Amino acid sequence: MAKKYRRIRYLIHPSSQLRYIALSVMATLIMSLFCTYFIIESGELVLRAAKEKPLVPFYSLRQTIISLENGGCDRETLAKISKLKNATRSLRSAMETSYLYTIEQWGQTKRLIFSVLFCFLVSTGLLALLYSHRVAGPLFRMKKYLDMLTEGTDIPRVILRKHDEFKDVADSLDRLRIKLRDNGLLNTKE
């Protein structure tokens, strides 16, 4: 059974990999914050409208009740106006309770948005790290082989992993190795 490859170093070429990861995360962060800002602002506008719109008819109804009370009505009419006043207060109280529940739900939604944003940024960083290995790993290996060729030492065939980048460059390096070896410019260990 073949020995499974185990990664020893997570950053092969730290300066370029960290720069790549930072650029990936920054681009994601900027777009995510931009979108999140507009989502939250839109939600705040909806909340303000939800609070103010239903109150307009209440103010009109309140003015009507006040004018009826001041109109010199009989006792029976005043009792009915009092019931209407109490029903209006109850309805307003129920609407305010509903609004407070909506505010609580909006707070939970905002926390969820920021949690998803955080997870998204971490995922982007991890994906950028994984992809950077597909670039930095082959470049690291080819640089090592180029240094060996420069010293006149023969190298093994350049084999990259299935998803690595720069396979065309590895093929060119392999052709160079063969040409140098055929011309007798490499020290072979045989």
Task: Determine the structural domain holding residue 38 and report its residue range.
Answer: 14-132
**What secondary structure does DSSP assign to 20-69, as a single string?**
HHHHHHHHHHHHHHHHHHHHHHHHHHHHHHHHHTTHHHHHHHHHHHHHHH
The reply to whether 144 falls in a domain is no
For 132-146, the three-class secondary structure string (H helix, E strand, C coil) is: HHHHHHHHHHHHHHH
Task: State the Cα–Cα distance between residues 170 and 177, nearest whole angstrom.
Answer: 10
The reply to whether 157 falls in a domain is no
Contacts of 81 (CB under 8 A, 6+ apart): 65, 68, 69, 73
Please write the tens of the pLDDT for every residue from 38-50.
999 998 888 888 7
Please write the tens of the pLDDT for every residue from 100-150.
888 899 899 989 999 998 999 999 999 999 889 889 989 999 999 999 999
Q: Say what the pTM is.
A: 0.64
| Domains contained in the chain, number | 1
The reply to whether 145 falls in a domain is no
The reply to whether 160 falls in a domain is no
